[in-house]
Every structure is written in C-alpha cells, then in structure tokens.
Amino acid sequence: MKKILLVMLSAVITLNTAVLASRYGSWKYRRTVKDGTVIESVVTRALDSNMELQWVSGGGVPMIAVTGPYLAGDRDRQVLVRFAMDDYGWDAYEYWDIGSSGHTIFYTGDLELLTVAAIICDRMVVEITDPYDGEVIREVFDLRGFGPAFNDWRGN
C-alpha cells in the first residue's frame, strides 16, 4: 500500500510541475511545466569562463540573456553590447538592460534576426562594455547545435 501511495504522490507532483531537458551538442534545452502550462523555456550554452548565453521565454517576454561577471552599468542600469557572427564583422552597439543581480544582461530587441543568424552561423562573439568603469568583456560562443535546441524552444 505504501508503495502505491508513493507512486501516486510522485505522479501528482510530476503532473503539477515538471522540468524537461534535452541536449544538442553544447546547447541544452530546458522547459518547466506547471499544471500543464509552460512557465519557462530556455535554450542555454554554458562556457568554461562562467559566461552563459540563453534564449529565454517566460513571463510573457522572449529575450536573450548573457550571464557572467558583475556589471554596474550607467545610471539607467544598461551596458553597451555588440556582436559578430562568424567573420561577418561587428554589429552596431546597442544598450542591453542589466538584471537586478548585476550578473545578467537582457536583450528584447529584434530576436528574429539575431536568432536566424545564430541558427546559420557557427560562432557568435559578444562584446560587453560597462559604461561605469569602461571594462570590456569579450566572449566567443559556439553556436553548433543551437538550431535543433532552438526548434524545441520555439515549439513552446
């Protein structure tokens, strides 16, 4: 009887909130479902340097997030970011918002263009300039495997 109750309790917990994950090369797709509704969907690529690049859907606004070292930003809590895909040259600087922890920055601009580029290219170089102290952080993200992981993300 205890075993049956334990299995039933496990099934109820699983139905209430579930985290599903799959890997595509160095990319990982994770989806959190609560009461049958997807509450968060993330495609992420972690690096040895403790920087992470994510496509995030949760809270109603899809965004790209980069997590790494602390950034102070300007008085509007923003930093300047530019990126280059493969060898196509640098894009223009844009302001990205800094999250409350100071370790994550967010981009909610033209996700479609950046996503298509990420699917067809092999690498993305991100350069972050913190206006507070002029610190420049440059990181290379391997995009191989991003396309299949993103297809899972887009399906939610």
In a domain, 98, yes or no: yes
In a domain, 21, yes or no: no
The residue ranking higher by pLDDT, 48 or 3, is: 48
Beta-carbon contacts of residue 50 (< 8 Å; ≥ 6 apart):
68, 69
Averaged pLDDT, 125-130: 94
H helices of the chain, in order, are: 2-16, 111-120, 146-154
Domain of 144, in residue numbers: 44-154
User: Which amino acid makes up residue 102?
Assistant: G
Q: Assign residue 117 the CATH number of its domain.
A: 2.60.40.1880
In a domain, 52, yes or no: yes
In a domain, 24, yes or no: no
Count the domains in the chain: 1
Whether 17 has a pLDDT exceeding 70, the answer reads no
In a domain, 97, yes or no: yes
Q: What is the pLDDT of residues 63-83, one digit of tens each?
A: 888 989 999 999 999 999 999
Averaged pLDDT, 84-100: 92
Whether 105 has a pLDDT exceeding 70, the answer reads yes
In a domain, 38, yes or no: no
Under the banding of pLDDT at 50, 70 and 90, the label for residue 128 is very high
The structure tokens 């995030």 sit at 56
Averaged pLDDT, 146-150: 80
pLDDT of residue 2: 38
Nearest Cα neighbor of 101 from 28, 139, 52, 140 is 52
In a domain, 141, yes or no: yes
In a domain, 19, yes or no: no
Residues above pLDDT 90, as percent of the chain:
30
| 8, 127 Cβ separation under 8 angstroms | no
The 3-state DSSP class for residue 72 equals coil
